[in-house]
Structure 1
Amino acid sequence: MQFKEYPSYKNSGVEWLGDVPSDWHVKRFGYIFSENKTKNRGLIENNVLSLSYGNIKEKNVEDNKGLLPESFETYQLIEPNDIIFRFTDLQNDKRSLRSAISNYKGIITSAYISVRTRQNAEYFNYLFRAYDLQKVYYSMGDGMRQSLKIDELNRMPITVPNQQIQTQIANYLDQETQKIDTLIAKQEKLIELLEEQRKSVISHAVTKGLDPNAPMKDSGVEWLGDVPSHWDIISIKHLANCSSGQGINSLEISDMSNDENCFPVIGGNGEMGWTSKSNYKVPVLSIGRVGALCGNVHLINYQSWISDNSLILKVHSKKIGLKILKYILLARDLNILASKSAQPLITGTQVKNEKIVLPPLKEQDLIVEFIKTENLRINNLTEKQKALIEKLKEYRASIISHAVTGKIDVRELVA
């Protein structure tokens, strides 16, 4: 879409703003916003809010998730249209969205900065989102720092069109970002459906085989149902040894490999870092042993250190290949076996006693090759959807930035 520009421009004097429309003002933040310092003394408000992924959300304190204060009297009172900033951990966290507008009346931690304005808060919310995406906050003041204070924020230059234009821009961005978000949600749903299709393909291939005309029999195992009549049913313990990985000191794990003598550390959900030692050189299956993701299955065919958060399956029988065993266990969904406790757990005994199908070796190879081909097809489709999502996000960021800094004139585009 081709956008119009404003009739004339002037130099804003601010590097990241560039030229702005001639009749727009560039003012310091503190001229437009005042800090809200009202505390929740006497616990007059109990609707606890949080800033998450660029949105203000109501928080359920009953589930006890996250850190909670001894008293909510130290929290600050928030009104609808207040804008909240979180400027903690700037050096280490460069991905979080740092600001959001509140649609609620409630309270939020005083570690955040809360401000309000008599002008159009929605417009400025979009402006600060543009600043966020351009990483403006990370280079303010004397360069990189851990946090920003209200005094520094008050000196920040911002674009201030008249209030009619503010409203027009905010309304346009509301309608356009809603359209884009709807498209993104559709693509994300397609990715979910592709993952469901992947699971279905694997499950059908390893329990029903590739021949739709093959005679079937009752396996006697609930999760398997009917299987090809010439397949065997066997316990894993007759095919593979199951043991636990070994503990490793967290000080021995680094985030990245320094040289060729570093080996991946395998946790309950795959690779979790690098270390200078290894405890496995032969191909094995790693199964998440503990936690919400226990039951995850990974084929490890490289030298590595497999931690005690994993169970290890090492095939000792020539009747089954490691790759098809992985797919069979993925179809089984071992997480179902986990103990129903605060810390879910799967034991080696449970895994060893699981009954699975055992197709002839030639069929195993055909099934593995079929799943490999289907995985590649699904991966390609998924990557296309992800690329489209990224383009949509880039477009959304672009129209927000261009609209709030006056690079495009959207006044006549509001429905």
Structure 2
Amino acid sequence: MNGTDLLALLPEGWRRVPLKATCNFFVSNVDKHSFDDELPVRLCNYTDVYKNDRVSPDMELMAATATPQEIERFHLEVGDVVITKDSESWNDIAVPAYVEGTADDFVCGYHLAFIRPRKEVLDGRFLFRCLQSRPVALQLELEATGVTRYGLPKDSIGLAVLSLPPLPAQVRIANYLDGEIARIDGLIAEKERMLGLLEEKRAALISRVVTRGLDPNAPLKPSDQDWLGEVPAHWEVQPIKYLAVVGNGSTPSVENASYWSDDGYPWLNSSVVNEPLVIKASRFVTETALKECHLPKIQPPAVLVGITGQGRTRALSSLLGIEATINQHLAFIKPHCDALHPGYLCHWLGHAYAFLRSDSDGAGSTKGAITCEQLANMRIPVPPTGEQLEICAHIRKSLDVAEPLQSEIQNSLNLLMERRAALITAAVTGQIPLEELQP
């Protein structure tokens, strides 16, 4: 289909224009550091945009500093749209949020760009919905470059093509979507609340059995760790390094073609810890990379742990089910004796998630990162091997009961999310007649 055919698909009065013809756009370089010779600001950060459809100074924002020139250049105004510019995943690029409030010290932060529509031709809320639509989002995702971290070039923002109706129609479409999406979001929130309750129940079950075992009458003893409390008296409490090998990997240079292959040795990044069991890889490295980059060959069963970043993957863990190597944002824990079962260890690390996050947020060079040394020295309660297996079986049996309901709710949630995305795309591309749009 050529450009003329695409134009023919638009309703009368609509036109396709590059974003740069209707907007100004800026890439921020204001970081999270504070300096005495700069002015205090409230910083709109990556997570503020990624997790919210709308941003304003009324949110809980990071306190930072910026120069007067930076404040003038990157100050956010009502009607702007902020997008994520960098991410560990290409499909998290250009996630938008609409700016619905402003203040003199409200500033766009690093890893973000913001787009300011020219109000005589483009409504900010319509632009926000265009950026949420699949055609525009896909254009920007495809422009992102990188292997382990993706970035959106500034020029690519301006080249994204919008389907643009007259301004009154933009406002009508934006009003309609605000109402419809609010109703769908209410249903989504209810489904997410139900999934959250199920997850709380799951976490409570796992926490109870990996810290107290299956016998409610077992005598207890102090674990000598305030956050952990008491554990069964017959359990050992030992550093992980006495029971397992701990290490991490690296990322071979993407410029060296001899390091990468379509069918080489599986290489994993930190996104894999979002799954309970890792059984496939999306990238592969060569034997040359394994040798020259000193990448570990990890044999299953082992446990992988996310060790860097401010996102949820830091401190998440999963079981490794395939032979693989890993990047520097992951650590592996490979038990070297029968005294520690990988399944029990993975469940226990799930219980320790909040502690690991808090512990790695401390001051110093390790802020926002868990080191292999921290993991190796971490003292964990170790039941007898047979009891570890019983604990894993008990957890599996309980999850088998809960997972069908969880799956049903998740499927319903997925359908709502698909409906939401399809409605936005249909409205901003002219597939819904204006006379049918009732706010």
- Length-normalised TM-score, structure 1: 0.65
Q: CA deviation at 1:337?
A: 5.6
Q: Which residue identity lines up with residue 176 of structure 1 in the other structure?
A: E
Give the superposed CA RMSD: 5.2
Query: 1:232 corresponds to which residue?
Result: 234
Deviation per residue, 1:259-311 (Å, 9 max, x gap): 2x513457797589644344443634455667766654444454333677636
What is the CA–CA distance in structure 2 between the aligned matches of 1:226 and 1:386, rounded to whole Å? 35
Q: Which residue identity lines up with residue 159 of structure 1 in the other structure?
A: P
Q: CA deviation at 1:104?
A: 3.3
Q: Which residue identity lines up with residue 230 of structure 2 in the other structure?
A: G
**Percent of aligned positions with the same letter in both sequences?**
18
1:165-180 maps to which residues of 2 (within 5 A)? Answer: 167-180=171-184
Which structure has the bigger radius of gyration?
1
Query: 1:341 corresponds to which residue?
Result: 363
Higher share of residues assigned helix: 2
Cα separation, partners in 2 of 1:19 and 1:370, compared to 1, 3 Å: same
Query: 1:310 corresponds to which residue?
Result: 331
Q: Which residue identity lines up with residue 381 of structure 2 in the other structure?
A: I
1:15 aligns with 2:17: no
Deviation per residue, 1:119-159 (Å, 9 max, x gap): 782663366346x42238839xxxx9963586x68x96622
1:158 aligns with 2:164: yes
* Alignment coverage as a number of residue pairs: 372
Match of 1:375 among 399, 412, 417: 399
Query: 1:5 corresponds to which residue?
Result: none
Cα separation, partners in 2 of 1:14 and 1:87, compared to 1, 3 Å: farther
What is the CA–CA distance in structure 2 between the aligned matches of 1:387 and 1:396, rounded to whole Å? 14
Q: Which residue identity lines up with residue 340 of structure 1 in the other structure?
A: G
Is contact 1:55-1:101 (8 Å) kept? yes
Query: 1:133 corresponds to which residue?
Result: 134
Structure 2 unmatched runs, 5+: 27-37, 146-151, 291-295
Structure 1 unmatched runs, 5+: 1-11
Query: 2:350 corresponds to which residue?
Result: 330
Is contact 1:56-1:102 (8 Å) kept? yes
1:11-410 maps to which residues of 2 (within 5 A)? Answer: 15=6, 18=9, 20=11, 25-27=13-15, 52-53=49-50, 55=54, 57-58=56-57, 60=61, 62-63=63-64, 71-72=69-70, 75=73, 79-81=77-79, 83-84=80-81, 96-97=93-94, 101-105=98-102, 113-118=115-120, 121=123, 124-125=126-127, 128-129=130-131, 132-135=133-136, 138=139, 147-148=155-156, 158-160=164-166, 163=168, 167-210=171-214, 215-221=217-223, 223=228, 225=230, 227=232, 232-236=234-238, 240-245=242-247, 248=250, 250-251=252-253, 258-259=262-263, 261-265=264-268, 270=273, 274-275=284-285, 276=287, 277=290, 278-281=296-299, 283-286=301-304, 296-300=316-320, 302-305=322-325, 310=331, 312-317=333-338, 321-333=341-353, 335=356, 338=360, 340-342=362-364, 343-344=366-367, 345=370, 351=376, 354=379, 356-359=381-384, 361=386, 363-409=387-433
Cα separation, partners in 2 of 1:135 and 1:219, compared to 1, 3 Å: same
| Equivalent position SS for 1:71 | helix
What is the CA–CA distance in structure 2 between the aligned matches of 1:388 and 1:16, rounded to whole Å? 35
Q: Which residue identity lines up with residue 100 of structure 2 in the other structure?
A: N
Deviation per residue, 1:68-105 (Å, 9 max, x gap): 67832661676533x5587979xx95653476654234
- Length-normalised TM-score, structure 2: 0.62
Cα separation, partners in 2 of 1:325 and 1:185, compared to 1, 3 Å: same
Is contact 1:269-1:296 (8 Å) kept? no
| Equivalent position SS for 2:177 | helix
Cα separation, partners in 2 of 1:325 and 1:76, compared to 1, 3 Å: closer
Query: 2:33 corresponds to which residue?
Result: none
Which structure has more RCO (C-alpha within 8 Å, separation ≥ 6)? 1
More displaced 10-residue stretch of structure 1: 263-272 or 192-201: 263-272
What is the CA–CA distance in structure 2 between the aligned matches of 1:353 and 1:87, rounded to whole Å? 35
